[in-house]
Chain A
Amino acid sequence: MDELEPEVIEDFHHTPFATPIIGVTGGKGGVGKTTVAVNLAAALAAHGLRVALVDCDVDAPNADILLGLTLADEVPVTVTRPVFSPDRCTDCGQCLSVCRLHSLFRPRAGNITLMGECNGCEACFLVCPADAIDREQRRIGAIWKGGADSLTLYTGRLDPGLEEGTLVVRRLRERVAAEADRFDIIVIDTAPGIHCNVIEALKGVSLAIAVTEPTPLGSHDLDLILSLLAMFRVRGTVFVNRADLPGKIDEIEELAARRGMGVEIGLPLDRQLLDSYVHGVPVVHLHPHSSAAMTFAGIAGRITGEFIP
Chain B
Amino acid sequence: MKLCITASGPDLDSTTDTSFGRAPWLLIVDTDSMAVGAVENASAAARQGAGIAAAQLIADHGAEALLTGRVGPKARAALDAAGIRIYEGLARETVRDALRRFMQNPPVADRAAAAAATGGGGCRGRGPGQGRGQGRGQGQCMRGRR
Contact = CB atoms under 8 A, between A and B. Distances in A.
Interface of A: 2-5, 7-8, 79-81, 96, 99-108, 113-120, 138, 140, 162-167, 170, 195-196, 199
A4 B52 contact: no
A115 B129 contact: yes
B137 A119 contact: yes
Interface string B115-132: 000000000000011011
A8 B135 CA distance: 23
Contacts of A140: 135
Interface of A is mostly: mixed
A162 B137 CA distance: 11
B77 A115 contact: yes
B78 interface: yes
A74 B125 CA distance: 38
Most chain A Cβ neighbours within 10 Å, of B74, B77, B135: B135
B141 A79 contact: no
B36 interface: no
Contacts of A3: 146
A257 B46 CA distance: 39
A106 B58 CA distance: 11
Given A107-B78, A116-B74, A138 B135 contact: yes
Given A2-B146, A81-B134, A138-B135, A166 B141 contact: yes
6 contacts: A4-B145, A103-B48, A115-B52, A138-B135, A140-B135, A196-B142
A166 B142 CA distance: 12
Given A108-B82, A117-B49, A164-B136, 19 more contacts: A4-B144, A5-B144, A99-B49, A101-B49, A102-B53, A103-B48, A105-B81, A107-B81, A107-B82, A113-B81, A115-B81, A115-B129, A116-B131, A117-B137, A164-B135, A166-B141, A167-B136, A167-B137, A170-B137
Given A113-B81, A119-B139, A164-B137, A101 B59 contact: no
B56 interface: yes
B94 interface: no
Q: How large is the interface on B (under 10, 10 to 19, 20 to 34, 35 or more residues)?
A: 35 or more
Contact of B83 (A107, A119, A196): A107
Contacts of A118: 134-135, 137
Given A102-B49, A107-B59, A117 B78 contact: no
B139 A2 contact: no
Given A102-B49, A116-B131, A166 B55 contact: no
Interface string B58-81: 011000000000000010011001
Nearest to A103: B49
A107 B60 CA distance: 8
Nearest to A11: B144
Contacts of B144: 4-5, 7-8
A99 B139 CA distance: 13
Given A102-B46, A116-B131, A5 B146 contact: yes
Contacts of B59: 106-107
Nearest to B84: A107
A62 B59 CA distance: 49
Contacts of A163: 132-133, 136, 138
Contact of A102 (B48, B77, B146): B48
